[in-house]
A = this chain, B = another copy of it.
Amino acid sequence: MTSRNMRGDGSLIIVMGRDATDEDNRRVIDRLEAAGAEAHVSAGKSRTVIGALGDPAILATLPWEAMGGVESAVPVLRPFKFVSRDFQSDDTVVSVGDVLVGGDNFAMIAGPCAVETRDQLFTSAEAVHSAGARILRGDAFKPRTSPYSFQGLGEEGLQMLAEARDEFGMPFVAEVVDPRDVDLVASYADLIRVGTRNMANFTLLAELGKQSKPVLLKRGFTATVEEWLNAAEYIYKEGNHDVILCERGIRTFETSTRNTLDISAVPVLAQLSHLPVIVDPSHSGGRRELVAPLTRVAVAARAHGVMIDVHAEPETALVDGAQAILPAEFSALMEDVRALAGVMGLKL
């Protein structure tokens, strides 16, 4: 963490209107300098453009467009700092139990969407474990669009997950939806997930930043990559540096899939950030038959892993059964993943 990086080097372009006065220009420059930024003035034939270089976190949040004479203010660099590749050039590798996520490792995370019963959980866990999954997924708290849907088993579900971990030797990931439950979930889980609806729940993010279990941060289904990295920054700056990102599809006008998997986000993030990024092929497509192709795609994009819903009896699932694959389908898919990971230089 060098001081150079902490000073930041964001840049902001302020275009003055056609009728801006010298005094207008002067006030903008004064305010820039008061904010610790360097101002560079370019006077054109009919307009003046002021370029500012300084701390992006400060530059981005002052009300430039409210100042007299300003036509527009365009931030050029990003407001996040610690999570950027500029701040740390080496890949972050996160330890989840004894499984490494990041770098050249490809993590297979699998299990049921929600924990429903001990039997259901153990059947899935055994199946995915024997097929080669390394981290177990399963939720005890579910945020649901309708208040009338099944909301999860709560602590009882976490206990079952912990038993499955001990039985099969797989660390597990589970979601937290309430800042008051962070300590509870952290006391059981090896990796704590923030769901898509909570990506911008800054209260919850700050709480997760203050504890030490690694965090899996799903992208808000309507968040830009930049907003997602800002959310990661909320966790990181509180002191918890073990953050894994999870692309899970964004909301678009297309209706043949539940969301549109933004696979480009994987290479884009590899440029912008040092954090690992995995893909959720189950929730992005929302359809069982898309899980295998989107998993193969994630390997080819050099994601750091996938998280897959596997359910032994999808027809009886209480949550999201339409997208769960069967244990046998998961085993078959593992073969493809191994072959493609080999080509891409990734270790399972």
Contact = CB atoms under 8 A, between A and B. Distances in A.
A9 B256 contact: no
| Stoichiometry (number of copies) | 4
Nearest to A77: B15
B146 A61 contact: yes
Interface in A7-26: 7, 9, 11, 13, 15, 18
Contact of A66 (B67, B324, B336): B324
Given A11-B47, A200-B197, A264 B253 contact: no
A47 B77 CA distance: 11
Interface string A289-331: 1100110110111100000000000111110111010000000
A139 interface: no
Contact of A264 (B200, B294, B301): B294
| A interface bracket (residues with beta carbon within 8 Å of B) | 35 or more
A18 B84 CA distance: 14
Contacts of A299: 300
Contacts of A237: 147
A301 B234 CA distance: 35
Nearest to A270: B293
Given A9-B45, A72-B76, A264-B290, A63 B147 contact: no
Interface string A226-262: 1100100110010000000000001111111100111
Interface stretch (A52-60, A98-106, A154-162, A183-191): A52-60
A284 interface: yes
Interface in A95-148: 143-148
18 contacts: A11-B47, A49-B51, A61-B148, A63-B316, A66-B288, A66-B322, A145-B200, A147-B237, A197-B200, A221-B222, A222-B222, A226-B255, A226-B256, A256-B264, A263-B263, A267-B289, A267-B293, A340-B340
